[in-house]
Structure 1
Amino acid sequence: MHAYRPRAGTVGSRKDTFFSTGSKDKHFQAKDQDRQSQGTDDHNPVEYENTYKMEPDLKFQESQVRDIIAAVLKENISEKEYNHSTMNRGITLMCSKILERVKQLDMKRYKLISHVLIGENNSTTLQFSSRCLWDVRWDTFTSVTVTSGNIYATGMVFGVYAE
């Protein structure tokens, strides 16, 4: 037998909530409680319905996202020499700017992740990877590398479709 951990928002044990042999009201009460939002207005709770939408209305727009990443990186890397202290502060700002501009493309139901890597270009090799569980039909990413002097910057945006 597997260990059981109750779902958040349910009341009682597994037997009381899901396999009630007594009153059916307990079963439906717990089920309704799960479907209601946890908003501040308890008098008029919002109920959400599943859309069962398995594909996006608008696919991830790789070319537009690539242009946004390149523009943000070029705007923010104006220095010709690598300096760790100034680059460290700018990375978070660049990620935020990229994410903000990509969200303006209004690709509904996509979860967006922005990542920026900056380093010194001194004839060394750098490899990095990322792993994610996704659907190859709709989930994707795009990346751009920009160099300025002895600085290189790589910006990536991942778009994961949320069903």
Structure 2
Amino acid sequence: MAGKEPLVSEAVGRVLLTEVPEKGELPEKRKMSVFPTAHKRPSIAASFLGVLATRRLSMMKRMMPRIQDLRKESTGIQVHYEPTYRLEPKVTFSAAKAERILKDVVDERLEGLIYNAKATPSLIRYLCEEIKDRVKDLHYDRYKIVVNVTISQNTGQCILATSRCAWEPKYDTFASYSYSNKGIMCFASVYGVYTD
């Protein structure tokens, strides 16, 4: 066995066997394998690397929808509209239609309702969203819709509500409606503001 050349791993550059064994002969000394074997338990470092890899993978899974959205935006065709220089609306905001929507929504939702301080904030949000959606269904082009709803307990008191806005009186307008029953007082208003 003396005089035979040792085997060298090209990938790692370490000697795997001290000598090349002849046929049917076992080598006298073996160096440790560079590659992990299946029967050995993984070390702490290997399990830590596995944890890092799974974290990286889960982070990539979370990021993929965002990356795909960015790709869609970057590859999608962007449409650039030229300015219309239109300073007045094709159809002006109708305060009568908006007031009818206010009356329908508020009467329908608040009829027979008793005041509850904990439920009132979510009720106000719901009323505002429903009124805004119904007014937007009228398709007023280039109008910003602002909805304001105030609900209070009805104990015989008086409420005075005022508002001030900077707008073009020729195109911008508002509608308001007040409702009261034995337990609730409600004041709702919708503002239609034209944006050029």
TM-score (norm 1): 0.69
Write the deviation string for residues 40-66 of structure 1: whole angstroms up to 9, x where unpaired: 245743222111111111111111110
One-letter code of the match for 2:170? R
Write the deviation string for residues 67-116 of structure 1: whole angstroms up to 9, x where unpaired: 11111111211334322122222110000000000001111110001111
One-letter code of the match for 2:190? V
- Given that 2:173 and 2:193 are in contact with CA atoms closer than 8 Å, whether structure 1 keeps it comes out as yes
Partner of residue 76, structure 1: 109
3-state SS in 2 of match to 1:40: helix
- Unpaired segments ≥5 residues, structure 1: 1-38
For 2:141, which of 103, 108, 120 is the aligned residue? 108
Paired residues in the alignment total 125
Do residues 139 (structure 1) and 172 (structure 2) align?
yes
3-state SS in 1 of match to 2:118: helix
Describe the shift of the 1:80–1:45 C-alpha distance in structure 2 as closer, same or farther (beyond 3 A): closer
Write the deviation string for residues 117-159 of structure 1: whole angstroms up to 9, x where unpaired: 1112222222333333211111111100011223111111010
**Correspondences of 1:1-163 after superposition (within 5 Å):** 40-41=73-74, 44-163=77-196
Q: Decide which structure has the larger Cα Rg and report it.
A: 2
CA distance in 2, matches of 1:161, 1:123: 38
CA distance in 1, matches of 2:173, 2:90: 15
Describe the shift of the 1:43–1:95 C-alpha distance in structure 2 as closer, same or farther (beyond 3 A): closer
CA distance in 2, matches of 1:119, 1:79: 15
TM-score (norm 2): 0.59
CA distance in 2, matches of 1:44, 1:78: 50
CA distance in 2, matches of 1:45, 1:150: 53
Larger RCO: 1 or 2 (CA < 8 Å, sep 6+) = 1
- Given that 2:114 and 2:184 are in contact with CA atoms closer than 8 Å, whether structure 1 keeps it comes out as yes
CA distance in 1, matches of 2:191, 2:151: 18
Percent identical: 31
3-state SS in 1 of match to 2:112: coil
3-state SS in 2 of match to 1:69: helix
- Unpaired segments ≥5 residues, structure 2: 1-71
The Cα RMSD (Å) is 1.8
- Given that 1:69 and 1:155 are in contact with CA atoms closer than 8 Å, whether structure 2 keeps it comes out as yes
